[in-house]
Chains A and B, each alone.
Chain A
């Protein structure tokens, strides 16, 4: 198993659909993240979960709903998205020690297209 796996790799959905992105990390880390990567824009942090508790919600619209059932799994539930939400969604994990995030290990990403 690779370190961080994401499914699906590609997703096309209409604006009224409900879908979910899944992330699983096999590294024993205690923190997981969702990032959004749009063309010509820097990686944008969306959510942070530390020891399964959400510690960061970077002003993300409510149509994105994260879920972290345990320290190895992270979901991003999608509902009534807009075309501008089309992007690459990257999951990452790290071992947080003393408030220091450290090196991020990224999954391959889920390429989302909203029609």
Chain B
């Protein structure tokens, strides 16, 4: 079956660095996605990893280890607007994406 785990909630301070972890067990693997969803809004794409290693995009980076079934999203220089839910999603067999429950990040001044 499909199983994706990520922490339910995290809190961090403005200007700090936070790492949101995601572990997965899925049928097949075509890539791992991170999405950001602000309250009351649509999820928006942040990053995609299909090979092992780190992908950097501005203040956000995402890491993947396929052998460990593990990914993390790293947010640097946190801003208040980064308070949102962060969704880990894995595309498995037949192009079907499975989402984790999401991690609600609260950034405090």
A residues near B, CB below 8 A?
Answer: 4, 40-43, 45, 48, 55-56, 90, 96, 99-109
Contacts and interface: CB of A to CB of B under 8 A. Distances in A.
Looking at chain A's contact residues, the main secondary structure is loop
A101 B30 contact: yes
A43 B95 contact: no
A86 to B, nearest CB: 16
Contacts of B60: none
A101 B96 contact: yes
Interface residues of B, number: 23
Given A42-B98, A99-B30, A99-B94, 17 more contacts: A42-B4, A42-B87, A42-B100, A48-B96, A99-B95, A100-B95, A101-B30, A101-B97, A102-B91, A103-B33, A103-B45, A104-B35, A104-B43, A105-B45, A106-B42, A107-B42, A108-B42
Contact of A106 (B30, B44, B101, B102): B44
Interface of B: 4, 30-31, 33, 35, 41-45, 48, 87, 89, 91, 94-102
